[in-house]
Amino acid sequence: MMEHQSVLLHETVDMLQVKPDGIYVDGTLGRGGHAELLLSKLSKGHLYGFDRDEQALKETAIRLESSRDRITMIHENFCHMKEVLERYGVSKVDGIMMDLGVSSPQFDDPERGFSYRYDANLDMRMDQTQSLTAMQIVNEYSFEDLTRILWQYGEERDAKRIARAIERQRAISPIETTFQLNDVIRSCKSSKELSQKGHPAKQTFQALRIEVNGELTSLRTGLEEATSLLNLHGRLAVITFHSLEDRMVKSLFKDLSSAPSVAPKLPVKASQMEQASFLSITKHPVTASELELQGNHRAHSAKLRVLEKIGD
């Protein structure tokens, strides 16, 4: 089992204000770090843990064996949590947490094809039962679609150049491995860019991973489902790792915690004005402490935002 350090562990669980008899959801169970801490605070309560990665679920089942009567593990995308929970007779919950992105074990397993640092087949599937892989995208998507995802999901400035280079290379022979794709990307970068800090393929690999797994679409739906499931004073805690995720979470939390606007000339008393149904607990995102940063490199880009249901 590969080592995995849970990011913002205590901050996330503490801000959920766990009730011993409450019902909770971990939308991204992963290797069970956040779940393990939350379960330690439950007596009669229950945790429903979702993950798309079957390997992660198998490993976490071993880790959480002593708590198996208080947790139900579900191989499913969290964007379907409402429908799935209904099957278990659950219509409302007291708290939900999501630790987004790819886990360290997924990155560190060369065979999964997530990392540009290992030579492997271009896979990048979180759910290995799905058919779409990064190899298919690289070799089958049109120039226009490649350009779009590299720009939108990777914020890659050289999106057109890289898409064109991919198109030229695959006309000669398929691009099947991470290192083959690395070579194509490097050919599009200047010597100055290649000498700068950071891997030249980072943004392209991020874009492909997001497209393979439909991450932003799943996140948008998952956030909507999560907020609709919360009991009064229930909380949603979300950890993001890149700007696209964080902007989506920040925007939704701001919209939900803002009261509907009223035309200034309408004769409405303050007591009659409709109030927001949610409260943003984190005016600014919570980030990792210096101590955590020293021991966990992945924590550098992590941002935690928390929302509470305060009305109907």
For residue 298, the model assigns a pLDDT of 84
Which burial class, exposed, middle or buried, applies to 95 when counting CB atoms under 10 A from its CB (0-12, 13-18, 19+)?
buried
The owner of tokens 């071993």 is 62
Give the tens place of pLDDT for each residue, 53-91: 999 999 999 999 999 999 999 999 999 999 999 999 999
For residue 312, the model assigns a pLDDT of 84
CB 108 within 8 A of CB 120: no
- The gap from C-alpha 238 to its chain's centroid, in whole angstroms, comes to 8
Show the domains of the chain with their CATH numbers: 9-99+215-309 (3.40.50.150), 109-213 (1.10.150.170)
For residue 264, the model assigns a pLDDT of 55
Per-residue b or e along 61-93, where b marks 16 or more CB atoms closer than 10 Å to that residue's CB = eeebeebeebbbbbeebbbebbebbeeeebeeb
CB 106 within 8 A of CB 112: yes
Nearest to 50 by CA among 87, 16, 68, 76: 76
For residue 240, the model assigns a pLDDT of 97
The SS3 assignment for 80 reads helix
Phi first, then psi, for residue 289 (nearest 5°) are: -75, 165
For residue 2, the model assigns a pLDDT of 42
For residue 1, the model assigns a pLDDT of 38
Q: What would the two tokens of residue 188 be?
A: 């599009």
Give the tens place of pLDDT for each residue, 96-129: 999 997 887 888 888 999 999 999 999 999 999 9
Query: What one-character DSSP code corresponds to residue 111?
Result: G
* Residue ranges in the chain whose pLDDT is less than 50: 1-2, 262-263
Nearest to 3 by CA among 238, 240, 298: 298
For residue 104, the model assigns a pLDDT of 77
From CA 154, how far away is CA 286, in angstroms rounded? 24
For residue 94, the model assigns a pLDDT of 98
From CA 26, how far away is CA 47, in angstroms rounded? 7
For residue 275, the model assigns a pLDDT of 83
For residue 262, the model assigns a pLDDT of 46
What pTM was computed for the model? Answer: 0.92
